[in-house]
Chain A
Amino acid sequence: MKESTDRSAGPVLAADNISVRLGGIQILQHLSLQVERGERRAIVGPNGAGKTTMFNVLTGVLRPQEGHVALHGRDVTRWGVSRRATCGMARTFQITNLMHTMTVEENVVLALAASRPAVRRDLFRPLRSSSLDRPAAELLDRWGLGDRRHLPVHALSYGERRELELVLAVAAEPDVLLLDEPAAGLSPSETARVCDLVERLPRETSIVLIEHDLDMALALSDTVTVMSEGSIRGTGSADDPAISALVEEVYVGAVDQEDADVAG
């Protein structure tokens, strides 16, 4: 169920002057970010930089104390998670977050049903015989999980679960997709598969990607935003040497800080 949205002009997703304090600690400070239509944006920065908190603000899990979030130019700061999702926002989670007692296919059917009012109107009709079996199978085939369709999620390998996370997020054909460390904990070959999946997403989908693996972040994105200590240090093209220098600075700086903590 997509609400009518103005997709003509302006950034798809914009955060303006966001500040978040949790338990007396300033997590985000006056943070602003704009993502254009079709843009591939990577967010890099050391642990504790506030990347996941920013995701939670963008998706509606967390209300910021200050600032606004706009989706398709509309102020959605006070909207809940599900309403933002129905307006074209999708995400994956850093920690695998699937409907673990269901089969792969049932997971996908639920993801598809979320965006189809016709199915939600037939709430008390059996889901199994719904019109979504075929689209679900097609989706799984397209993303290479077709032969896993009837397996319960708990029988999938970790890498396959990460792939299913992605499939669920793209099922509703979102306008903007937020990926929270999609390759965390994966082997190099599994990481390559996930990269391949992300690259095959429709070109008009905007992607915001949190990633520690710098090579992967650079390979998948046009623009890189560098964060540390709750604020944005800089944004630039992925091949800009100034950005590489900045990345090195925040990571190495963080390492120095940790060393100092240990020494202290």
Chain B
Amino acid sequence: MPRRSLLIGVVLAVIALVLLRNGLSPYSLSVWSLALVGGGLGMSLSLLVTYAGLPSLAQAAFYGTGGYAVGILAAKHGQDNLWIGLLLAALVSGLLALVLGLVSLRTRGIYFQIITLSFTAMIWGLAVKWRSLTGGDDGLVGIYPPSMAPFNGHLVTPQGVFTFSAVALILICLVVRMVRNSAFGHVLVGIRDSESRMAALGYRTTAYRLGAFVLSGMLAAIPGALLTYQLQFVSPAQLNFVVSIQALLMVVIGAGTLFGPALAGVGVIWLQEILQRHTDHWLLVLGAIYIAVAMVNPPALVQRLRTQWAERRTAEPAREPDLEVVR
């Protein structure tokens, strides 16, 4: 994506966010804030799935660990600084990702998914059982709106929370874009396309994959921490494996486009919140929508659209979407 269209995109996003911020009720704003956090979750996993070709099911573990990191920091140690919280969340999740990556990246495909899923279940079990630290099933309470020091005030008003979540999402998007366009990102895509070839060229493929895994885990911790701050509560539900699957779904709906997973994440969580409000059968409705989306095969749709667009403009064939198209 060229620089100019990126700039236009960011400007449009900011205008939309400002309009939403001033136009919505406090309740709607809180729903949108949750949705923006969901966008961050989808984006963090997209780095791994779309570019490194690693369909990890451990994203909930890093997302939830980020949440618990700031929760424990605030509730048990009385440290309520937002920046310290976010930094700690990223570090703890990054460390966890390093450990898991060293183990899981020796495997591929379904085995990689089993290991990452098991890991999520283990972290979930830890959160349930280690009551003295995590509050167990009941979760952690006593988390108050964080201080923005050295800036004034606390992250407390619905407008403030919304704005901060939006800025965080935009920053995460820009980080993922930078990685995609960097030498590192190209090496990742190269390894996804052909690991044996990249190794034969001299790339230490496992080291690059590990780097992507850790970075993705750190990115997931940021929306995870923001969710805890928003809810002023953290419970094992935040690192349930269902969250991992939801994150994977966001990436699939994102269809291999750069910012698609962010939009999909916002949409999925927003829809979930709205459905929850209107019907007891929201899981049923949501499930039906997901099945419909999977039938459409979003990456294939994007490729078809891109091909048509490219044929209209030039004779050159279109680029494939970054996510694998299942034919």
Contact = CB atoms under 8 A, between A and B. Distances in A.
Interface of A: 1, 59, 61, 80-83, 85-86, 90-91, 93, 97-102, 106-107, 109-111, 113-115, 119-120, 122-128, 130, 150-152, 154-155, 168-169, 171-172
A141 B161 CA distance: 55
Nearest to A1: B202
A101 B193 contact: yes
A123 B208 CA distance: 11
A101 B317 CA distance: 12
Given A93-B200, A150-B316, 19 more contacts: A81-B200, A82-B200, A90-B200, A91-B200, A97-B196, A99-B189, A100-B193, A100-B194, A101-B320, A107-B190, A110-B187, A113-B183, A114-B198, A114-B201, A114-B202, A127-B185, A151-B316, A168-B197, A171-B201
Contact of B202 (A61, A85, A107, A128): A85
Contacts of A119: 183
Interface stretch (B69-77, B174-182, B218-226): B174-182
B185 A115 contact: no
Given A110-B190, A110-B201, A114-B201, A101 B178 contact: no
Contacts of B199: 80-82, 85
A106 B16 CA distance: 36
18 contacts: A82-B205, A85-B201, A93-B196, A99-B197, A109-B186, A110-B186, A110-B187, A113-B183, A113-B187, A115-B202, A122-B183, A123-B182, A123-B183, A126-B178, A127-B182, A130-B183, A168-B197, A172-B201
A213 B243 CA distance: 56
B322 interface: yes
A61 B198 CA distance: 13
A1 B322 CA distance: 29
Contacts of B178: 124, 126
A172 B202 CA distance: 9
Nearest to A85: B202
A124 B197 contact: no
A12 B5 CA distance: 52
A91 B200 CA distance: 7
Nearest to A106: B186
B200 A152 contact: no
Interface in B39-89: none
B57 to A, nearest CB: 24
Contacts of B194: 97-100
Contacts of A154: 317, 320
Contacts of B319: 101, 152
Nearest to A129: B181
Contacts of A86: 202
B197 A114 contact: no
Contacts, number: 106
Given A102-B190, A106-B186, A130-B183, A155 B317 contact: yes
A72 to B, nearest CB: 15
A124 B193 contact: no
Contacts of B189: 99, 101-102
A123 B184 CA distance: 5
A107 B197 CA distance: 10
A31 B199 CA distance: 25
Choose among A80, A81, A98 the residue with the greatest number of B CB atoms under 10 Å from its CB: A81
A114 B197 CA distance: 11
Nearest to A132: B183
B190 to A, nearest CB: 5
Interface string B301-322: 0000000000000001101101
Nearest to B211: A123
B131 interface: no
Nearest to A99: B193
B119 interface: no
A81 B189 CA distance: 19
B203 interface: yes
B228 to A, nearest CB: 29
A93 B197 contact: yes
B108 interface: no
A111 B194 CA distance: 13
Nearest to B256: A101
Contacts of A102: 186, 189-190, 193
B129 interface: no
A83 B178 CA distance: 28
B183 A120 contact: yes
Contact of A126 (B182, B198, B201, B322): B182
Nearest to B196: A97
A128 B181 contact: yes
A123 B316 CA distance: 30
A29 B276 CA distance: 67
Contacts of A85: 199-202
A102 B196 CA distance: 16
B184 A110 contact: no
B203 A152 contact: no
Contacts of B320: 101, 152, 154
Nearest to A87: B202
A12 B187 CA distance: 29
Nearest to A89: B200
Contacts of B198: 99, 110, 114
Nearest to B184: A123
A107 B191 CA distance: 11
